[in-house]
Amino acid sequence: MAQAHIHPIFDRLLQTETKEKQLNQRGKVIWLIGLSGSGKSTIAQHLEAKLYDEGFLTQVLDGDNIRSGLNKNLTFSDEDRLENIRRISEVAKLFANCGIVTLASFITPTEAIRQMAKEIIGEDKYIEVFVSTSLEECEKRDVKGLYSKARQGIIKNFTGIDSVFETPQNPAIVLSTEGQTIEETVETLYQFIIKKISYKH
């Protein structure tokens, strides 16, 4: 419910297009979705480096980083998962409105949560990327030992084990990390987004 004493000044601030022209790029949110261990963070890291080399200003928002700071008070309950993504979406929107190419790497397990993120950020700025790595492959990687702990019941509400992960229905692009090098996967994503973020197109 709106509060009477809050008076936003969005209409009196410099607009997104003005900032995009200054940066010579378009503010977009590249939202990477997938299971823990699917490769989201690695893809974001490599894509950021590639975009930096091309002269783009970027910001990476990563699940573990956000939960150690902005959202450290949240649990992994359904309610808190929703609030986690709501807050992140609002932050991503702020970056995109400044003309910054934002790489958001989050499990984002359900269609309802993804729809909320898209609505907050704006459909014209939200690019949904599904990092389609099988549960079996994610468990093989398990660099953090999380799946093992989830199987033992040490970690509760773990996505893919005892908490649902719904396959994205309409992602802008699907990436497979199995049978490909990270360079090949990142190049595929780069080629898909370059015209969307370049001000020359």
pLDDT cut 90: percent of the chain above it: 59
- Arithmetic mean of pLDDT over the chain: 89
Angle between the 78-97 and 16-23 helix axes, to the nearest 10 degrees? 70
pLDDT confidence bin for 39, thresholds 50/70/90? very high
Show me where the domains of the chain are located. 14-133+167-197
pLDDT 10s digits, 143-170: 788 888 888 888 888 888 888 899 999 9
Torsion (CA) 38, 78, 115, 173 in degrees, nearest 10? 10
* pLDDT at 142 exceeding the cut of 60: yes
The fold of 14-133+167-197 is Rossmann fold (3.40.50)
Residue 48's pLDDT is what?
97
Q: 36 with 141: CB under 8 angstroms?
A: no
Q: What is the mean pLDDT of residues 67-78?
A: 81
